[in-house]
Amino acid sequence: MIEIEHIYKSFDSSRGRFNLFNDFNLNVKDGTFSGIQGKSGAGKSTLLSIIAGLQKPDSGSVKIDGLDICTLSDKESAVFRNQNIGFISQEQSFLENFTVLDNVRLPSYILSHSKKQQDDRIITERAMELLKIFEISHLASCYPRELSGGENHRVLIARALMNDPKIILADEPTESVDSERTEAIIILFKELAKSGKIVILVSHDNNALSLCDAIVKI
Ligand SMILES: Nc1ncnc2c1ncn2[C@@H]1O[C@H](COP(=O)(O)OP(=O)(O)OP(=O)(O)O)[C@@H](O)[C@H]1O
Ligand SMILES: [Mg+2]
């Protein structure tokens, strides 16, 4: 369960100081697939990064299963995020000198370092299984720069699912993916939500949003 209560967030920019969130509230229950809709600059990406603990609101609380993540230190927040949140960011962020397979395996290696030791073979099998689901297993030994935009987006989704997170935050995950594969990805998100996870999708695609259980307009 995610409970966002009374958050305020402002930015100082060349345009001056402006308030993006003024007493913003949102509750998201486990097992739901939610869509976030809003015009460019409305704050969709900022909201996801606040839920992921990458940015803190100026005030207010963001509770995940009762834990206010705004009270965590940067290090605690990074550990919490790696264990609980799969974040598919709007800008494609890869380790450019690592292969596709290594980029996808990375969250599991960080997890085994901080928590339970996982067998290298099991990690690789899981990564390859995800690459297969997203039809990119033939690209496992390539580098991100050698892939198309849509292929890289699918690598990002595979990486976000690697640690089987209970919360999946997807910021325009299918922007450069063809319509057939977009549908498959949205159906997968819906199935993940049915299995008890929280999936939050930011999208401008009304077809994708129509499959969500609820739509939040910001
Ligand atoms: N670090 C920052 N410093 C100053 N302004 C920022 C910062 N981050 C975001 N903003 C501003 O906050 C507003 C919301 O940005 P955000 O990226 O959340 O929008 P968005 O709804 O995701 O837009 P889009 O649909 O174009 O991706 C924008 O006006 C942006 O310029
Ligand atoms: Mg955005």
User: What integer pLDDT is reported at residue 113 of this predicted model?
Assistant: 64
The best mutation among 12, 17, 24, 45 to test binding of ligand 1, ranked by most ligand atoms within 8 Å of the C-beta, falls on 45
pLDDT at 118 over 80: no
C-beta of 20 in contact with ligand 1 (< 6 A): yes
Q: Which residue has the tokens 């999208």?
A: 203
For ligand 1, whether the C-beta of 150 sits within 6 Å is no
In the reported structure, the alpha carbon of residue 210 is separated from the centroid of ligand 1 by a whole-number distance in angstroms of 25
* pLDDT score of 184: 87
- At residue 144, the pLDDT reads 95
Find the mean pLDDT for residues 159-176.
94
Q: How far is the C-alpha of 174 from the C-alpha of 153, rounded, in Å?
A: 7
pLDDT computed for residue 218 by the predictor: 93
Residue 43, ligand 1, Cβ within 6 A: yes
Please report whether residue 45 resides in a domain. Answer: yes
Complete edge-to-edge strand list for the sheet that includes strand 198-202: 85-88, 167-171, 198-202, 33-37, 214-217
CB-count burial class (<10 Å; 0-12, 13-18, 19+) for 105: buried
Ligand 1 atom having least distance to the Cα of 43: 18
> Is the distance from the beta carbon of residue 38 to the nearest atom of ligand 1 less than 6 Å?
yes
Residue nearest to atom 2 of ligand 1 (CA): 11
Count the domains in the chain.
1
Contact present, 156 and 107 (Cβ < 8 Å): no
- First and final C-alpha spacing in the chain: 20
Residue 13 resides in a domain: yes
Amino acid at 38: G
Instruction: Summarize the confidence of residues 188-208 as an average pLDDT.
Output: 94
Q: What is the CATH number of the domain that holds 174?
A: 3.40.50.300
* Residue at 57 is within a domain: yes
Which atom of ligand 1 has the smallest separation from the CA of 12? Answer: 4
Q: Which of 7, 12, 13 for a ligand 1 pocket mutation test, highest count of atoms within 8 Å of Cβ?
A: 13
14 ligand 1 Cβ < 6 A = no
Report pLDDT digits (tens) over 87-116. 999 888 899 999 999 999 999 988 766 555
Ligand 1 neighbour 55 (Cβ under 6 A): no
Is residue 112 assigned to a domain?
no
C-alpha torsion sign, points 63, 64, 65, 71: negative
The boundaries of the domain holding residue 56 are 2-91+148-217
Q: Using the atom order of ligand 1, give the atom closest to the CA of residue 47.
A: 18
**Closest by alpha carbon to 211, among 185, 190, 191?**
190
* pLDDT computed for residue 180 by the predictor: 86
Q: How far is CA 27 from the centre of its chain?
A: 17
pLDDT surpassing 90 at residue 117 = no
Shortest CA distance to 33 belongs to which of 162, 218, 203, 155?
A: 203
Distance CA 4, CA 71 (A): 14
pLDDT (0 to 100) of residue 135: 94
- Mean pLDDT, to the nearest integer, of 17-41? 96
Output the pLDDT for position 216. 96
Q: Span 126-146, mean pLDDT? A: 96
Confidence of residue 137 (pLDDT cuts 50, 70, 90): very high
- Average model confidence (pLDDT) for the chain? 93
Q: Is 105 within the bounds of a domain?
A: no
- Residue type (1 letter), 169: L
Is the C-beta atom of 66 inside 6 A of ligand 1?
no
The span from the CA of 36 to the CA of 4, in Å, is 14
Query: Is residue 44 within 6 Å of ligand 1 at its C-beta?
Result: yes
Residue 130 lies in a domain: no
| pLDDT (average), residues 45-50 | 97
Q: Answer yes or no: is the C-beta of 126 below 6 A from any ligand 1 atom.
A: no
Give the predicted TM-score (pTM) of the model: 0.93
